[in-house]
Structure 1
Amino acid sequence: MGLSYQPLYIATAGAYANQRKLEVISNNLANASTHGYKRDIVAFEGLIEPASPITPINPKLYFDLHNEQVSQRMVLFDETYTDFSQGALIETGNTLDIAISGDGFFAVQTEDGIKFTRAGNFTLSPDGYIITPQGYKLLGKKGEPIRIPFEEWAPQDIVITPDGGVFLGVRHGEERKSIFIDQIGVYSIPEGLARKVGENLFDVDDISYVQDSENFEVLQGFLESSNVNPINEMVSLIEVQRAYEANTRVITSVDSTLSTSIRDLGRV
């Protein structure tokens, strides 16, 4: 009588799936306090026959256990999705804390080119550029870094309007006026094109698809928090840990049973 490895394959696939989920949930929890972070969700197509008409493309994992060509029997596909829903907007009162309410991303200049972010916790560099905590320069609508010309004016305040306009309050004697500096670029990225390249940075393979956003409001003195719900993630973490432990118990049990069967066959 032949031995069936099918339960072992299924349990191993389940363990892999739950391990992947644990990694994603753990990363979400680690970034629960990261400004502008967007939670990830991992989804699996499951175990399918290659001949199935619904076989997805881009297989992520093939199992090849006990020298059997398991890839001819079952394939596990997974896909990680990013939840781009808006996080809570928290008032800070800081002049260069800015949040986008609605659709859009800020653009910043990094050493690897232009990236996009929803994190608006900016500061001023010593030479007057508006920068991220990593030193990336915030870009204006024309694609150039925004710089406050401190050497030309005595700034009293920086004002950012809901449409992204950056104004500098200056005083000449008793006279106070607002000087237009630049317009913050706020960009819309079509669904499915933004790719994570860091905790709260996104890249786009073809930047020609990026357009000016038309449905947004820039809020000065606010920050967007991550859209991670720590309680929900903790509940999911516990559930997935239990499922993973169940998978490993099945693997151990099946492996023990198969080993016993093989020994018994050897005595015949």
Structure 2
Amino acid sequence: MDNTGYIALSRQAALWRQLETVANNMANANTPAFKAEQMMFSDYLVKTKTHERPFGQKLAFPRDVGMVRDTREGSMTHTGNALDVAIQGDGYFVIDTPAGMRYTRAGHFRLDETGMMVTTEGHAVMQNGDLPVIFAPNEREITIARDGTVSTENGVIGRLRVVTFENEQDLRKAGAGLYDTLAEPIEKERPDVVQGMVEESNVVAVAEMTNMISILRSYQGIQKMLDNEHERQLKVINSLGRPNQNA
């Protein structure tokens, strides 16, 4: 295969990975607090030498170098649920899991059988001091203030721990809307949380659909070029392989 074919195939492979990313965004368009992602690409330069070009020429192959997450805030939806909490602006809730501390913006919480505030998967939601938020059996009037202070009819229980990071792109997906990172969290002194609200996905479905169509067309265009080149080479081979009728 010539260099043109290799470059075309590398571009197709990059487009396929990009298509998978777009498809994942669309699949999570209704997932609370989901953040859209997109691929990052760069040129991988290879220097080649031939008899005609003894000093070589540079060939550029597309290479995916990572994923960029769109950290912009999603729209807010009112639920009326006292344990639903959304963060306005930057910040993440701190969640205690068996694998260690994790972080999330998906604030759809509930109470477990012990009265502890947990995520849908049953992981404890942390308050300042890395303590779980626990309600007494008789407490019914749960109030969460804009600064994250949790209280009931019996008084203040604690304050939800909200943290930020110097670079949010360092956060890695840990499943179930959670993120993991080796970076040190920064305490958010004045968080802005809203009770009875959940943050929706920031995926713009129409934009992602447009991206998918554009990627598919590019992929099909490259495939057509490869097919045409293949047919051209076959014609040349067949032509050269025929005996010379004038001989």
TM-score (structure 2 length as normaliser): 0.86
Query: Partners of 1:259 and 1:220 in 2: how far apart?
Result: 68
2:122 maps to a residue whose letter is G
Instruction: Quote the offset at 1:149 in angstroms.
Output: 2.4
Mapping for residues 165-244 of structure 1, pairs under 5 Å: 165-169=149-153, 178-191=154-167, 192-198=169-175, 200-206=177-183, 209-214=184-189, 216-244=191-219
Output one character per residue of 1:175-208: Cα deviation in whole Å (capped at 9) or x when no partner. xxx41112110000121321222252211124xx
The residue matched to 1:139 in structure 2 has which SS? strand
Q: Contact 1:37–1:200 at 8 Å: present in 2 too?
A: yes
Query: Partners of 2:182 and 2:20 in 1: how far apart?
Result: 25
Mapping for residues 1-268 of structure 1, pairs under 5 Å: 5-49=2-46, 74-78=60-64, 79-150=66-137, 154-169=138-153, 178-191=154-167, 192-198=169-175, 200-206=177-183, 209-214=184-189, 216-267=191-242
Q: Aligned in 2, Cα 1:198/1:50: closer, same or farther, shift over 3 Å?
A: farther
Q: Contact 1:8–1:255 at 8 Å: present in 2 too?
A: no
Q: Contact 2:149–2:156 at 8 Å: present in 1 too?
A: yes
Q: Aligned in 2, Cα 1:19/1:199: closer, same or farther, shift over 3 Å?
A: farther
Instruction: Quote the offset at 1:108 in angstroms.
Output: 0.8
Q: Aligned in 2, Cα 1:50/1:44: closer, same or farther, shift over 3 Å?
A: farther
Structure 2 residues without counterparts, runs of 5 or longer:
49-57
Alignment: residue pair count = 232
Instruction: Quote the offset at 1:222 in angstroms.
Output: 0.6
Query: Partners of 1:29 and 1:229 in 2: how far apart?
Result: 8
Structure 1 residues without counterparts, runs of 5 or longer:
52-71, 170-177
Q: What is the root-mean-square deviation in Å for CA atoms of aligned residues?
A: 2.1
Match of 1:60 in 2: none
Q: Contact 1:130–1:146 at 8 Å: present in 2 too?
A: yes
Output one character per residue of 1:74-120: Cα deviation in whole Å (capped at 9) or x when no partner. 54321211010100111111100100001100011122211111000
The residue matched to 1:167 in structure 2 has which SS? strand
Instruction: Quote the offset at 1:266 in angstroms.
Output: 4.7
Q: Contact 2:86–2:194 at 8 Å: present in 1 too?
A: yes
Instruction: Quote the offset at 1:251 in angstroms.
Output: 2.1
TM-score (structure 1 length as normaliser): 0.80
Range moving further from structure 2, 33-42 or 193-202: 193-202
The residue matched to 1:80 in structure 2 has which SS? strand
Query: Partners of 1:214 and 1:262 in 2: how far apart?
Result: 73
Q: Aligned in 2, Cα 1:155/1:12: closer, same or farther, shift over 3 Å?
A: same
